[in-house]
Amino acid sequence: MNVKKIMIMPLMILLLVFTSACGMFSSSSKETAQSQEKKGNSDVIKIGVIVAETGPASTLGKTEANTIKMIQKQLDETGPINGKKIELVMRDYETDDTKAVIAMDKLISDGIVAIIGATQASTTNAILPKAEKANLPLLTLAPINTDIENVYNIPPSSATVASKMIDYLVENKISKVAWVNAKDAFGVDGLPHFEPLAKEKNIEIVAHEEFDATASDMTIQLTNVREKNPEAVIVWSRTPGAGIVARNFKALGFEVPMIQSHASANQGFLDQVKSNSENIFVVAGKLNVVTQLEDSEYKSLVEEYVNPYEKEYNEPTDFFGAHSYDAVQLVIKAVEEGNFTSSDINNYLQNELKEYQGISGKFDLTKPIEGPQADGVTVLSIEDGTWKYTE
């Protein structure tokens, strides 16, 4: 084989790949046209899911993705609902907004009737205009603020989580707090909700520090915080940043409690803090401590999700997985009641179902943007590397 042939070969392979890609894309576009025509009449109901299974936000997105895969398996086992096979078409956007927008277009082309996602609030905002244009119900996995219709906040709003923190502070007679947050879309969302609630209860914010979400040391921020002598330090960040702050907090010898947001309520955070968990509290979903809850209807509901998940993946789930579980269950419920199109699903959720007890909390679907109430949320401490129910 001469050199020319060797050089041409990879090119030919690439061209072949490119052509086959175009072929696949066009065939999918033809399918799209057909599926869109049949949307509602088809035997398959497609629900789109956009999650960050990989990339920096995968600390939250991984359990969401695992939950979706588990539900799909369960759906395949139980067979069609109301004569319809439910297909959860999941796309990993790799923590990249542009990829999420591309994925959204692909899902719309595939003829989905509802969209669940995305893992991050900023990404949810990026896909929002497309959901609105396609008139799709959007069930969010990160709380967002919008006046666009048909958006269902599945996670508790930042205000709901902040109110739980305030309750804890009031109960423990703490009136001076320091606020530390990551400088990313999630991190900057907490303080605007916490501040007015704190003011109402006469809780003063004596320090406010921010850190880069990818930073590996927050000692400087915590040192600045210590100078102000707060009675508690509140951290609003997702892992791994949240865990690093907790480790630095311990290393600097703080004696006041640290209260972390719900984005730290996962196994990754427990692994990071390990034995340095004294005085660290996390606002979490009650599912984290399901075995410690009293018997109730709510406990059975949570067990329906948690037990099969732990069996399937041999690891605990978290609040974020619960959001994707609630979101899918809401759409499945609509399909069970004979609603197969986007507008019928919207109509059913808001005008017929109205109320729904999810794992994330109790939903008032007539006000879908408000998200669930605080009943699914609690403040947990950490003991021997596991969550401890304190209420």
Partner 1 sequence: MKKLDVLLYGSRKKPIAALLGMVLVMPFIISSPYIFTILILIGIYSIITIGLSLLVGYAGQISLGHAAFFAIGAYISGVLTVKYSFSPWLAILIGMIITFISAFLIAIPVMKLKGSYLALATMAINIIIYILLLGLSDYTGGASGLGGIPPLSIFGLSLESQVLFYYFVWFIVSLVIVFSSNIVRSHIGRILRSIHDSEVATETLGANVSKYKVAIFALSAVFASLAGSLYAHFISFIAPPTFYINFSILLLIMVMVGGVHSIWGAMIGTAVMMALNELIRFVGHNYLNISGEIEIVVYGAIIVIVMIFMPKGLIHPISKLRFKKLTHTPKNETSKQKLFSEKGV
Q: Which residues bind to partner 1, rule: CB under 8 A?
A: 6-11, 14, 17-18, 20-22, 24-26, 28-29, 32-33, 53-55, 58, 65, 91-92, 94-98, 101-102, 105-106, 108-109, 121-122, 125-126, 128-129, 183-185, 187-189, 213
* C-beta closer to partner 1: residue 210 or 326: 210
Distance from C-alpha of 55 to C-alpha of 93, rounded to nearest angstrom: 8
Q: Would you give the DSSP letter of residue 294?
A: P
Backbone angles phi, psi at 184, to 5 degrees: -130, 180
* C-beta closer to partner 1: residue 298 or 320: 320
Q: How far is the CB of 308 from partner 1 (least distance, A)?
A: 20
* C-beta closer to partner 1: residue 106 or 176: 106
* C-beta closer to partner 1: residue 25 or 338: 25
Beta 114-117 vs 232-236: how paired, if at all?
A: unpaired
Q: How far is the CB of 11 from partner 1 (least distance, A)?
A: 5
Distance from C-alpha of 286 to C-alpha of 227, rounded to nearest angstrom: 35
Backbone angles phi, psi at 111, to 5 degrees: 85, 40
Q: How far is the CB of 65 from partner 1 (least distance, A)?
A: 8
Q: How far is the CB of 124 from partner 1 (least distance, A)?
A: 10
* C-beta closer to partner 1: residue 55 or 308: 55
Q: Which of 203, 237, 376 is nearest to 296 (CA)?
A: 376
Q: How far is the CB of 26 from partner 1 (least distance, A)?
A: 6
Give, in order, the Cα–Cα distances in Å from 200 to each of 170, 235, 305: 11, 20, 37
Pull the structure tokens for residue 374. 């605080």
Q: How far is the CB of 55 from partner 1 (least distance, A)?
A: 7
* C-beta closer to partner 1: residue 14 or 170: 14
Give, in order, the Cα–Cα distances in Å from 204 to each of 175, 189, 199, 207, 237: 6, 19, 7, 9, 20
Q: How far is the CB of 80 from partner 1 (least distance, A)?
A: 22
Q: How far is the CB of 213 from partner 1 (least distance, A)?
A: 8
Q: How far is the CB of 226 from partner 1 (least distance, A)?
A: 24
Give, in order, the Cα–Cα distances in Å from 195 to each of 54, 177, 187, 246, 258: 33, 11, 14, 22, 17
DSSP string across 40-106: TTSSEEEEEEEE-SSSTTHHHHHHHHHHHHHHHHHHHHH--BTTBEEEEEEEE-TT-HHHHHHHHHH
Pull the structure tokens for residue 80. 């069609």
* C-beta closer to partner 1: residue 73 or 201: 73
* C-beta closer to partner 1: residue 122 or 373: 122
Helices (H), the chain: 3-38, 58-78, 97-109, 121-133, 158-171, 191-200, 219-226, 241-251, 267-273, 297-313, 319-336, 342-347
* C-beta closer to partner 1: residue 237 or 279: 237
